[in-house]
Structures are given as C-alpha cells and as structure tokens.
Amino acid sequence: MSREQFHFVGVCGTAMGSVAAGMIEKGYIVTGSDQSVYPPMSTFLKSKGVQIMEGYRAGNIPDEATTVVIGNAISRGNDEAEAILERRLRYMSLPEVLKEYFLCGRRNYVVSGTHGKTTTSSILAWLFESAGKKPGFMIGGIPANFGQGARFTDSEFMVMEGDEYDTAFFDKRSKFLHYLPELVVMNNIEFDHADIYNNLDEIILTFSRLLKVVPRNGLALINGDDQNCLIAARESPCPTKKVGFSESCDLRITNVEYLPTGSCFMIDGETYEVPMVGEFNVRNAAMAVCSAQFAGIEPGEIRKGLLSFEGIARRQQERGEVNGITVVDDFAHHPTAIGLAIDGLRQKYPSRRLWVIFEPRSNTTRRNIFQDDLAIALKKADCVVIPAIPDPEKVAVDERLDPEKLVADISDEGARSWYLGEVDEIVEHVSSLAEGGDVIAVLSNGGFGGIHEKLLTSLDD
C-alpha cells in the first residue's frame, strides 16, 4: 500500500475534508491546514487520522509531502500557496484529485445545472443504493437517507454533483469538466456566479464543453423545456435525450398530480411517486429516474427507491413547529429557485400565510444584477424580510444590491415586507407578528446567525 503523502490547503471545506478522509482510507498519509478549524469537520478529520494545522503558514507544508491539494477558496497571496509555487512542489486542485484517484474507470453520473443539482444527485444516489449498487457520491448537501454528503466505495457507480464554478486559482475551467462523465444531467442554465462569469453566454459555453467530454457510449439528459440547455446541446458530440413537459421532449413528463405530501408523474410509460412537492421536484425526480434507467435499474426498483427517499437537509426542511407556526429551512438563493421554492411551499402548505426571510448572501445575489428579479420572485410570499447584505465591502457600491429598494419594490407588488439589518432584530419582529398557522421559510445558503433555532425559541416564549 502506498505511503505517498498529501497536504490539503483549505482542508476544512466540506468537499476538501471528505476527499482528505477518502485519501486516508486509501492508505495515504494526509495533513491539512485551514484558517477556520472547528467542529464538526475538525473532529471528523482528526477521527480519520488527518493532522490539522490552524492558519496558513509556509511551515505547515511537511517536507515529506509529495503532493499538495489547493482548495478552491485559496488565492495568490496565501502563504502556503506562495511557498508551493516557490518550492516548485507538485500541486493539484480538488477536482484533479477526484479524477485521478476516485473517478478513473468508473461509471460517473454527473448532475449539473443552475438549480436542482443537490436534489437530483441525492435522489439518484439513493436510487442506486436502494437497488443494491452501493454507489460512491459527492453531493453539495446532506441527503437524509445517507446522513453525509460524500462517500467513496468500490462500486462501479459514482454520482457527482457537477458544479460550473471554477476549479482553482490556477485553473479557471469549471469543476465538472474533470469528472469523466458517462452520463450528464443538464437540469437548467441561467446566469449565476457573477464573480467569475461576465454573462450568460460564458455559462452556456462551459456547459457545452461538459457535453464534449461525454463518450459516445454515454448519454446527456437535457432539460427540453430550457432554451439555454438546448443551445448548449446544439453541437453535442455525445448522444442526448430531452426530458421535460413539452411535446418535443424525447422523454416526456405527463399525468402530473401534486399532493400536499408528494407528487405523482408518468415518464417513459411508467408512473412514479416522489415524497416531495412542486414542479421543480418532479423535474428533478424525472431526471434521476431517466438516469437510473440508463444504468439498467428496473422501474419497480426505481419506484421503491423514490418512495423511500427522505429528502435533503436544507431543502424545504421543517426545523420545528411552535404554537402552530412552522419554521422551514431552504437553500434557495437564485431568483428562479426562490420563486420555485415559494411555489412548492404554497403546494405543501395550502391556505397558510407564508413568511419568507431571504438572506442575499451569494456572490451573485449581493450584486444588483438581480435587483428586479428578486422582487418578482419574493412577491409570491405574503410577508418578506430582508436583512443587511453580509460582507458588503466585497462588492463595489455601484454593483451592490439595494435591500431597502428591494423591500420597497416587494411592498409595491402587494406583499408586506421589511428591511431589518440584524438577525436578533428579525427574530423579535417576526415573532411579534407571526400567528398560529403561519409558515416561516428561511432562505439562505449560509448559517444566517442560527436564525432558525432563535425563531423557534422566541416563538415559544
């Protein structure tokens, strides 16, 4: 067994930590460093045998290290990054490590798109698991059925959430171009990641490049209702099938029925039910079903897997109910995803007043690119609260979202809305106005100051 030694710079990131632990399981010596070392990742890594150093210093890199893995969050100027370059050490990005040590020779199913990646890849991984395939997976959320976002097994199948974000400071290609896909799911394409893409055309281009690395004996499942996906797939050298509701789709979703506890639909002559609500979840489930069929899983096994799917942390996840008021956690941060999330909540909680507390935290929503689109999406709620933008200094003033204008625009559209800067102020305000039967949905891609538990505590007083 090899005793090659790896050092991970930025080891406490979710994906970095998971791969570092996977390398330990393969028999390699692994060390790592990070600016923020705290549980649960720090304790998880230490339990796996990863030695962690807090802070970034050139001296952290062991003399014995044969390869240094540089995380996506690391940029030039970082002491360890500079030392790596000066010493001409062998370095790799995380996607390169995945490709070389975990994906070669496997049947890699890569789920891509602006929205729905985590849900679709979680459903697909569970369909494989339920059918006895014991897949490996790398997912940007935590599927409830697994209790972890990454797992590396000896299975021929690997499910990868395919992110279009760039790979590292030294490799500006999208991460998903490294993943050796046999099958690609292309859920949808919209403008996002304004910190690295200048326009929608650049994003469509990187998705078209993803299809160029799918083999002739593979398959790309394309959202046939999304014009941008169709553009990206125009010159695809690999086989493609369009999945969606329109008549032009090769695999058409029909006979949809939305229930408070789930959704039923038919595709490719078979009827399925998934315990999730909303049109977007039907699309996600349909993509997972078609992917599983390509892998040879029978419809009966797929039905069984769908019915036993338990969802994903932070995707319409009920965090608790106090005095008839339900607090829901959701990850949505792009305007389209926000609108779809609200639609889904309306279906799940019909006739109940819906609060949405939205934190504009992503690199794109902190900018004014979606100033108008956010108002259009959020007006679907009854009551909306917008906090101050996190780390506003990271965005130029003339490019920054104006949360007070956003609140005014939402109010003009008929929904009650408030701009409240801090979490404690939000909790006090919402708790004072919420009534039995209300649903309070918190939409954020971060921790948001522990607002969910604070709300539940305050509502119980």
Average pLDDT value over all residues in the chain: 91
What is the mean pLDDT of the segment spanning 328-338? 83
Same domain, 333 and 299: no
197-243 tens-digit pLDDT: 889 999 999 999 999 999 999 999 999 999 999 999 999 999 999 99
> Both tokens of residue 260?
């408070």
Q: In whole angstroms, give the CA distance from residue 64 to residue 46.
A: 20
State which of 94, 129, 156 marks the end of a domain: 94
Domains of the chain: total: 3
Q: Is residue 100 part of a domain?
A: no
Same domain, 183 and 265: yes
Same domain, 229 and 89: no
Q: Is residue 288 part of a domain?
A: yes
> What CATH number did the domain enclosing 253 receive?
3.40.1190.10
> Both tokens of residue 176?
């998903």
Q: Is residue 99 part of a domain?
A: no
Q: Is residue 157 part of a domain?
A: yes
State which of 70, 94, 118 marks the end of a domain: 94
Asked whether residue 42 carries a pLDDT value surpassing 90, the answer given is no
Q: Are 8 and 20 in contact (CB under 8 A)?
A: yes
Q: Which residues contact 103 (CB under 8 A, 6 or more apart)?
A: 158, 160, 178, 179, 180
Q: In terms of pLDDT, which residue wins out, 415 or 356? A: 356
- Name the pTM for this structure: 0.81
Same domain, 300 and 325: no
Place 134 in a pLDDT band, splitting at 50, 70 and 90. Answer: very high
Q: Name the percent of the chain lying above pLDDT 70.
A: 99
- Lowest model confidence (mean pLDDT) among 37-41, 42-46, 341-345: 37-41
276-321 tens-digit pLDDT: 888 889 999 999 999 999 999 999 999 999 999 987 766 778 888 9
Q: Is residue 273 part of a domain?
A: yes
**Per-residue pLDDT, 444:** 86
Domain of residue 178 covers 105-307
> Both tokens of residue 110?
């890569």
Same domain, 83 and 149: no
Asked whether residue 168 carries a pLDDT value surpassing 50, the answer given is yes
> What CATH number did the domain enclosing 369 receive?
3.90.190.20
Sheet containing 136-138: give its strands across: 150-151, 136-138, 157-161, 107-112, 181-186, 219-223, 240-244, 251-252
Asked whether residue 1 carries a pLDDT value surpassing 60, the answer given is no
Q: Is residue 70 part of a domain?
A: yes
- Strand ranges for 165-246 from DSSP E: 166-168, 171-174, 181-186, 219-223, 240-244
What is the mean pLDDT of the segment spanning 251-270? 92
182-206 tens-digit pLDDT: 999 999 998 888 788 889 999 999 9
What is the mean pLDDT of the segment spanning 392-417? 87
Q: Which residues contact 201 (CB under 8 A, 6 or more apart)?
A: none
**Per-residue pLDDT, 79:** 97
- Strand ranges for 134-180 from DSSP E: 136-138, 150-151, 157-161, 166-168, 171-174
Same domain, 45 and 161: no
Sheet containing 67-70: give its strands across: 51-54, 29-34, 5-9, 67-70, 91-93
Same domain, 302 and 155: yes
Q: Is residue 221 part of a domain?
A: yes
State which of 282, 307, 332 marks the end of a domain: 307
Same domain, 119 and 258: yes
Same domain, 120 and 27: no
Same domain, 193 and 321: no
Largest CA distance in the chain: 66
**Per-residue pLDDT, 313:** 67
Q: In whole angstroms, give the CA distance from residue 167 to residue 193.
A: 13
Asked whether residue 416 carries a pLDDT value surpassing 70, the answer given is yes
Same domain, 42 and 12: yes
Give the burial string for 101-136 (b: 16+ CB within 10 Å, else e).
Answer: bbbeebbbbbbbbbbbbbbbbbbbbbbbbbbebebb
DSSP-derived 3-state class of residue 66 = coil
Asked whether residue 160 carries a pLDDT value surpassing 90, the answer given is yes
Q: β-strands 5-9, 29-34: how paired?
A: parallel
> What CATH number did the domain enclosing 61 receive?
3.40.50.720
Q: Is residue 345 part of a domain?
A: yes
Q: In whole angstroms, give the CA distance from residue 40 to residue 21.
A: 14
Taking CA 80 as the corner, what is the angle to CA 170 and CA 11, rounded to the nearest 5 degrees?
85
β-bridge partners, 400: 367
